[in-house]
Amino acid sequence: MLRVGLTGGIGAGKSTVSKVLAELGAVIVDADLIAREVVEPGTPGLAALVDAFGLGILHDDGSLNRPALAEEAFGSDDSRLLLNSILHPRIGARTAELVDGAPADGIVVQDIPLLVEGRMGAAFNLVVVVYVDQEERVRRLVELRGMPEADARARIAAQASDEQRRAAADVLLDNSGAPELIREQARALFEDRLLPFEANLRAGTAVSVPPIVRPSNPEWAAQGRRLVERLRLVCGDHAVRVDHVGSTAVAGLDSRDLIDIQITVKDLAAADALADPLAAAGFPRLADENRDSPRPAYGVGGEGDPGLWDKRTHGGADPGRPVHISLRVEGWPGQQFALLLRDWLNADEDARADFVAVKQSAVATAAENLHEDDAVTAYTEALAPWFDLGYQRAWAWAESTGWTPGD
Ligand code: ADP
């Protein structure tokens, strides 16, 4: 099952997107609908609200009078907490029931207006944000939904900013144009990304990336941050730390379009305990443990037990965001070097320039291979001598600057 979080500011066109995805076969779980459902007349939820806030929160026909409840509940922090303690568990239970009821190969889209405000993004395989600028949203809410302008502005002001929503978005759907354009984007999202993502997730297939070096992409930093948050949630106490490492974590450095993440663990048993949870979250284990594994031939690492370079590797099932995850043991040379390399490259412009030149020549070498797997291996091997030297240079830099891995 693939779980997608769908959100957007009020009036952005979330409902339009959710309708298209439903038509294509997604299971929609609508947070607003559930929030109403759990306090319908006759529900234990409504009875609990009456117990807490009195009969004054009901209309004459016994249904919930929302403005009256708001008046009672938003008066103090205590009453707000009380309200949440009644609503949240019931909304959570009903949501879980609907999600669990979806088929094993389902694509579940949870439509949650306040997903960003509630910091829920990391719990989903993918977060989709529908975006329209504020003035156009006000115009649509007023002209098409008949909302008084002051209300529309007040509601927008009470929600997350566009910038916060952008930062949470794995996919940003721009609904500034005609309705047909957003429908087309939603269809393309479903067919080109959600369907293959779900199939990969179920089959335990990781997406691969050809050895082509792309110009540095300013989005990589935010993509890395979202992956780190997601992986922290999956790993919980099994991870000592989770970091965005590798070339995409170095500002301005051209790179393969592959986000490297390092999960630091206490020992390899902890890494193995994470194999299934990671796979279930869309990060299947890779068979070839040594791919993309720079292991210096000499120097500090080479002098020690070769076992000290062991790691476990996972890929990603999302065809829209290839990722390579290394699980390494805290304090082992490979774990330290991944953090050091990133920080050294960020600090040393000459090192970045050398590295890019070596990458370009590795791309040319790799291009002689017909098959992608062979090309990736050739690319990685062509980079190895640079890593040998880089290992020495990076540690020399660490010593001269007093670098530590931080936390
Ligand atoms: P949300 O669910 O995100 O609050 P809606 O889907 O209800 O937003 O969209 C707000 C209003 O704008 C609705 O009346 C909707 O029909 C309309 N709308 C949605 N997309 C477009 C568009 N591309 N052009 C014009 N109007 C649109």
- pLDDT (0 to 100) of residue 297: 52
Q: Which residues pair with 259 in a beta bridge?
A: 323
DSSP structure class, residue 113: T
Q: Measuring from atom 5 of ligand 1, which residue has the nearest CA?
A: 13
Give the confidence band of 407 by pLDDT, cuts at 50, 70, 90: confident
Summarize pLDDT for 28-86 with one digit per residue, the tens: 999 999 999 999 999 999 999 999 999 999 999 999 999 999 999 988 999 999 999 99
229 and 117 fall within a common domain: no
What pLDDT was estimated at residue 285? 97
Task: Report yes or no on 94 lying in a domain.
Answer: yes
Angle at 388 between CA 386 and CA 394, to 5 degrees: 90
**Does the pLDDT at position 302 exceed 50?**
no
Pocket test of ligand 1: the residue of 16, 130, 185 to mutate, having most ligand atoms within 8 Å of its CB, is 16
3-state secondary structure of 265: strand
- State in Å: Cα 319 to ligand 1 middle: 29
Please determine, for residue 306, whether its predicted confidence score (pLDDT) is greater than 90. Answer: no
CA separation, residue 333 to residues 23, 138, 208, 264, 311 (Å): 51, 55, 26, 12, 11
pLDDT for res 304: 53
- Would residue 120 count as lying in a domain? yes
Domain match, 132 and 241 both: no
Q: Residue 31: CB within 6 Å of ligand 1?
A: no
- Distance from the alpha carbon of residue 140 to the mean position of ligand 1, in angstroms: 7
Summary mean pLDDT of the chain: 94
Query: Is residue 309's pLDDT more than 90?
Result: no
Helix (H, G, I), strand (E, B) or coil at 11: coil
Domain match, 109 and 223 both:
no
Pair 193, 72 in one domain: yes
CATH number for position 65? 3.40.50.300
- Residue 328 sits in a domain whose CATH number is 3.30.460.10
Neighbours of 125 (CB within 10 A): 23
- CB of residue 178 inside a 6 A radius of ligand 1: yes
Lowest mean pLDDT, pick from 73-87, 122-136, 295-309: 295-309
**Do 41 and 124 have their domain in common?**
yes
Q: Are residues 142 and 289 in the same domain?
A: no
**Ligand 1 atom with minimal separation from the 175 CA:** 23
- pLDDT tens digit string along 184-193? 999 999 999 9
Which residues, other chains included, contact 310 with Cβ-Cβ below 8 Å and sequence gap of 6+? Answer: 268, 329, 332
Regarding whether 88 and 11 lie in a shared domain, the answer is yes
Confidence of residue 378 (pLDDT cuts 50, 70, 90): very high
Phi, psi of 108 (to 5 degrees): -95, 125
Ligand 1 mean position, distance from CA 33 (Å): 18
Residue ending a domain, choose from 203, 232, 250 = 203
In sign, the C-alpha dihedral spanning 43, 47, 52, 55 is positive
Residue 292: pLDDT over 60: no
Q: Are residues 253 and 198 in the same domain?
A: no
Where does a domain end: 176, 203, 230?
Answer: 203
The reply to whether 214 falls in a domain is no
Is the C-beta atom of 8 inside 6 A of ligand 1? yes
What is the model's pLDDT at position 180? 97
Whether 298 shows a pLDDT value over 60: the answer reads no
Q: How many domains does the chain have?
A: 2
pLDDT class of 291 with cuts at 50, 70, 90: very low
pLDDT for 75: 87
Ligand 1 pocket residue status of 159, Cβ below 6 Å = no
Residue at 191 is within a domain: yes
> For 145-160, what is each residue's pLDDT tens digit?
999 999 999 999 999 9
Q: Which of 170, 203, 236 is the last residue in one of the domains?
A: 203
Quick check: 299 pLDDT over 80?
A: no
Co-location of 175 and 39 in the same domain = yes
b/e burial code for range 355-367 (CB count within 10 A of at least 16 → b): bbebbeebbeebe
* 189 and 231 assigned to the same domain: no
The answer to whether the CB of 176 is under 6 A from ligand 1 is no
213 within some domain: no
Q: Looking at ligand 1, which atom is closest to the CA of residue 9?
A: 3
- In this structure, the residue with its CA closest to atom 15 of ligand 1 is 13
Q: Quick one: 256 and 357 in the same domain? A: yes
CB 383 within 8 A of CB 358: yes
In this structure, the answer to whether residues 241 and 133 fall within a common structural domain is: no
Question: Domain span at residue 196?
Answer: 2-203
pLDDT at residue 144 greater than cutoff 50: yes
Task: Find the Cα–Cα–Cα–Cα dihedral 174, 176, 179, 185, rounded to 10°.
Answer: -20
Q: Residue 212: inside a domain, yes or no? A: no
Ligand 1 lined by 9 (C-beta under 6 Å):
no
Q: Is residue 209 part of a domain?
A: no
- How confident is residue 130, by pLDDT bands cut at 50, 70 and 90? very high
List the 312-314 sheet strands across, edge first.
241-245, 259-265, 323-329, 312-314
Share of the chain above pLDDT 70, in %: 95
CA atoms of 345 and 388, how far apart (whole Å): 15
Residue 175 inside a domain? The answer is yes
Determine the pLDDT at residue 146. 95
Judge contact between 238 and 309, C-beta under 8 A.
no
